[in-house]
């Protein structure tokens, strides 16, 4: 299948390992069913997931560019509902939006922008002394953002999805996916999930890395 694909900077599409259907119900009662896939051959050897939501097969069969959100794992936000970031509401929004149109949620095991869970919590401690989310990562000896999206491209390419509509406010996700052989036909902004506890975090994302987040009322 690789012959028909775009150049992928040497990336080999991942191979599907397991497919299971999992009914999902969120805390607010919204429910849907996900086709969850695991893979062989992911370049970082981590256990990333692809969730096919809604009529994703139809989107591929019609040759449509499916809607895709790469979501980076956030234990505190996704599982415990932490208000220090907007990951939980972003995930919840993405699942419903993707399920409505048919597409993929990529659940990427990149806690703390790739630095890991403990280091993320260390960074929170530094943020409590005044650093922003990016400065804190650097103070710990990490990059501001260590995520790379090669595994996201590998999972998409395994389904022949080399054209997508990207549900993200992050320009780096679009740039990296293009670099790894995924054409981003459209970038769709996510909603703004502002709370008292995450306002500084969202401002840093907007001002430091050009995320498209409309925070006009608190800027
Ligand atoms: Zn988070």
CA of 21 relative to ligand 1 center, distance in Å: 26
Give the confidence band of 197 by pLDDT, cuts at 50, 70, 90: confident
Per-residue pLDDT tens digits for 23-47: 999 999 999 999 999 999 999 999 9
Tokens representing residue 101 in the block: 């149109």
Looking up tokens 């970082």 gives: 44
Residue indicated by tokens 């052989």:
181
Residue 137 confidence (pLDDT): 87
Tally: H helices and E strands in the chain = 7, 7
Alpha carbon of residue 99 to chain centroid: 16
Give per-residue pLDDT as tens, 71-109: 999 999 999 999 999 999 999 999 999 999 999 999 999
Domains of the chain with bracketed CATH: 15-110+147-209 (3.40.50.10990)
Across the range 165-183, mean pLDDT stands at 93
Q: Tell me the CA distances in angstroms from 152 to 32, 37, 116, 124, one per residue in order.
A: 22, 13, 18, 27
40 Cα to the center of ligand 1, angstroms: 27
Active site residue 147: yes
**What percent of the chain has pLDDT above 90?**
68
Please, are residues 100 and 139 in contact by the beta-carbon 8 Å criterion?
no
What is the predicted pLDDT for the residue at 215? 66
Please identify which of the residues 145, 150, 162, 165 carries the catalytic annotation: 145
Work out the number of other CB atoms within 10 angstroms of the CB of residue 193. 17
pLDDT for res 216: 61
pLDDT of residue 195: 74
* 199 secondary structure, DSSP code: H
Active-site residue (options: 147, 150, 162, 165): 147
Structure tokens at 137: 């990562």
The CA distance from 154 to 132, in Å, is: 32
pLDDT at 203: 79
CA of 201 to the centre of ligand 1 (A): 10
134 CA → ligand 1 middle, Å: 13
How far apart are alpha carbons 191 and 168 in whole angstroms?
A: 10
| Active site annotation includes 17 | no
137 vs 21 pLDDT, higher one? 21
Q: Say yes or no to pLDDT of 6 above 70.
A: no
What six digits make up the tokens of 72?
Answer: 């980076």
Number of neighbouring beta carbons within 10 Å of residue 174: 18
102: left (phi over 0), alpha (psi -120 to 50) or beta: left
- 3 pLDDT band, cuts 50/70/90, is very low
Residue 198 CA to ligand 1 center (angstroms) comes to 10
Distance from residue 71's CA to the centre of ligand 1 (Å):
10
């Amino acid at each position: 299948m690789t012959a028909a694909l775009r150049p992928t900077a040497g990336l080999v599409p991942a191979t599907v390992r397991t497919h299971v259907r999992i009914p999902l119900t969120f805390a607010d009662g919204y429910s849907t069913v996900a086709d969850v896939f695991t893979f062989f051959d992911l370049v970082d050897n981590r256990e990333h997931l692809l969730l096919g939501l809604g009529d994703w097969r139809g989107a591929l069969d019609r040759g449509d560019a499916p809607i895709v959100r790469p979501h980076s794992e956030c234990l505190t936000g996704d599982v415990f509902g932490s208000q220090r970031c907007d990951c939980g509401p972003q995930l919840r929004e993405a699942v419903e939006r993707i399920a409505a149109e048919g597409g993929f949620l990529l659940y990427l095991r990149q806690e703390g922008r790739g630095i890991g869970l403990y280091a993320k919590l260390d960074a929170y401690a530094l943020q409590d002394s005044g650093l922003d989310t990016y400065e804190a990562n650097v103070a710990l000896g990490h990059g501001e953002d260590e995520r790379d999206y090669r595994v996201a491209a590998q999972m998409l390419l395994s389904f022949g999805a080399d054209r997508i509509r990207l549900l993200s406010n992050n320009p780096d996700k679009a740039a990296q996916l293009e670099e790894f052989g995924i054409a981003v036909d459209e970038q769709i902004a996510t909603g703004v999930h502002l709370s008292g506890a995450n306002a500084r975090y969202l401002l840093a994302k907007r001002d430091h890395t050009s995320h498209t987040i409309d925070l006009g009322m608190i800027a």
